[in-house]
Chains A and B, each alone.
Chain A
Amino acid sequence: MTQSFLQLERVTKRYGGHGGIADVSLAVSAGERVVVVGPSGSGKTTLLRLIAGLERPEAGEIWLDGRKVAEAGRNLVPANERRVGFVFQDLALWPHLRADENVKFAADSLGITKAERTTRITSTLELCRLDQQLARRYPHELSGGEQQRVALARALVGAPPLLLFDEPFTGLDADLRATLRNELVALQHRLRFTTIYVTHDPHDAETLGDRTITIRHARIEPAESLKR
């Protein structure tokens, strides 16, 4: 069907006639880093939720890694089978599980042996700079930056080929944002995963994307700025 790793073809999802996205087409190559910007309520989050399988498109098709995963009114592949990492805006850390247990829940779904799982969890926690002491804390016992790292570790532990970020650094101070942004860039270079990153922050757009697209009034603006 397509050479792109991710392809959206004329996808529409509206919420009672407003919000959401309308007739959006987008192609993302493997390993590409796309940043999505736009005003509040323009449909950025809806775009990510459709790709992850958390919403059903009303029209259009979504293709992922050569496989059609959604078509009008139907998710052909449910969210838990798409192998997509998602870092939510509110992080959605499970408050009753420790940091390492949050990551373990994700690792448990991978269908690998216990030993492999343990190795994977440990290496992912290290990758996200979470030492053993931090890993044994509950989310409310962690700072904002540490919580971001746990959310990232949880998304990364399954080594998903596509990672979606929904304004994960909202509410953090400028210094911490810069630090986490640099860490994420380093991880992207190292692991070469495809990312779609939703943000309001122009610095994020500059640092984290090969390409920036703007969504306004539920549609992708025709002029896409190509970096470099």
Chain B
Amino acid sequence: MWGWRSSRTPVVLTATAVFAVVCLLPLLYMLSAALAGPRTGVSRVGVALLDRRQSGLLYNTICLGMGTTVLASAIGAPLGFALARLALPFTAILRIVLAAPALLPPYVIAMAMTYLVGSLASTLTGAIVALTVGLYPITMLVTEVAVRRVEPRLEEAALLVTTPGRVLARITWPIVAPSVIAAALIIFVLAISEFSVPGLLRVRVYTTEVFTAFAALYDFGRAASLAGPLLIVSIAVAASAGRRLGRQLIATRRGLHGDPLDTFQSWRPLALASIGCLVVVVLAAPLAVLAREALRAESIGDVLRDSRDAAIHSLLIGLTGASAVTLVAVCLGHARARATPNVGAMLDALWVAQFAVPSTVIGIGLIGVWNRPGAGGALYGTPAMLLLGYLARFLPIGALSVAAIVRSIPESHEEAAAVVGGGWLRTMVRIVIPQMRAGLLAVWVVAFVLGFGEVGTSILVAPPGESTLPIRVYTLTANAPPGYVPALALFQSAIILAPVALLAVCLGRRRTS
């Protein structure tokens, strides 16, 4: 529809170039470092895999991934069904509350667990539980979208001849199962890619070994060869899941039609009681225990004063990062939404795979790309590296989200603008973007909270003397005075949850108005 001469061309090309340089280049650098060269060659990857010490790493990593996947799916799938098919009160707010643990940095949850259950948390099982709390919302949201996409008449037709339980098992579940399985694959990849939880709980997995090899032993070759298998598995599994899920990853209200069905309403009391218990366990209890521990600090005011610079840096970089992610994501997401089905599916797979790349691998990749003499290394050692890290980690999920939002706007709206003479930029500014304001706000908020809690990449690329709040929380865990770290973690959680709470209030008001 838009010719090559339209303003779309330079804008989309620029956004693509940003994605290629910031997201793909570090990844390609790490892949080539892992698979080529005398010190880091394929043989070294093979040796690393066969080594007895490394086989323990492999075992732990797989157990962490499988355990988290099973537990998160068992919690998330029923919740997703309940949100879609039971007429629960304040569904929009309930959804945000249930999804909130995904926005809290996982190491904050792990830290709360250590205060709750002591040394029991510092085990593989503890890491599985902490990651489950942070990842079950993915299954929940994907399942809800999938169930809402099921035409209610299919279930109603079955309800005429059988019980609600059988309808769920024989009609609803088979239709939504592929989505739930795809979500499970994504959770598996995110769990094996996670660095902060196993790092904090002292569970040895690939990501922590990559970090140790690079940051403690200064052995880039070993770090790269350890990252190799992890990277390949992550990309392969995530790309497959992304291809399966694609447009279902994030859906907007306009694309969904399934309403609650009367017949399932008898399950409501049980669902509400379960949800209440879950909210206490995954959100209220961790925050309460952190608050209790924070009160042990000599002066909470001093704690916050000590970390004022780090908090300001985090806020500034979080705000800038979220804005940059949203801006570039609008260009990429729109291009994806209007791409041909094959190109679109390929981009979905690429972005999901990119999002699943372990944060420590991205960090080392960024250092490898930007730490060089001359103009090419001008950004290295500056706060811009943190911004590049945020873009590398969260641009893919931002682009996926925007693409889903754009798809909910009929293409004919843009075509109508084009045939009356509107150029691409004017059509975007006056027709497309105004229709996705709420969605873009949500993308910005998610990018901000994810960026504000980011630690795996930041800890590697932050310039000397430029700490962020998550880096401070993470590095002080082992040797800070009592109450110091919980107070910081609580402060961090409050900053993250504030915009989420605001979003919930806005949704609540919109619902009641």
Contacts and interface: CB of A to CB of B under 8 A. Distances in A.
A79 interface: yes
A85 B419 contact: yes
Contacts of A52: 415, 419
B417 interface: yes
| Secondary structure call for the B interface | helix
Contact of B422 (A80, A85, A155, A157): A80
A83 interface: yes
A106 interface: yes
B419 A82 contact: yes
A92 interface: yes
Interface string A77-105: 11111111110101011111100000001
A80 B416 contact: no
Nearest to B437: A96
B421 A81 contact: yes
Query: How many residues of A sit at the interface, in one of the four size bands?
Result: 20 to 34
Contacts of A86: 415-416, 419
B418 A79 contact: yes
A154 interface: yes
A159 to B, nearest CB: 11
B418 A80 contact: yes
B418 to A, nearest CB: 4
A110 interface: yes
A224 to B, nearest CB: 27
A54 interface: yes
Given A54-B1, A158-B421, A92 B435 contact: no
Contacts of A79: 1-2, 415, 418-419
A61 B151 CA distance: 43
Contacts of A84: 419
Contact of A96 (B5, B421, B435): B435
A109 interface: yes
B420 A109 contact: yes
B6 A105 contact: no
Interface string B416-437: 1111111100100011001100
Contacts of B410: 90, 92
B412 A94 contact: no
Contacts of A80: 2, 6, 417-423
Contacts of B435: 94-96
6 smallest beta-carbon distances between A and B, as pairs = A109-B421, A106-B420, A78-B3, A92-B412, A92-B416, A79-B418
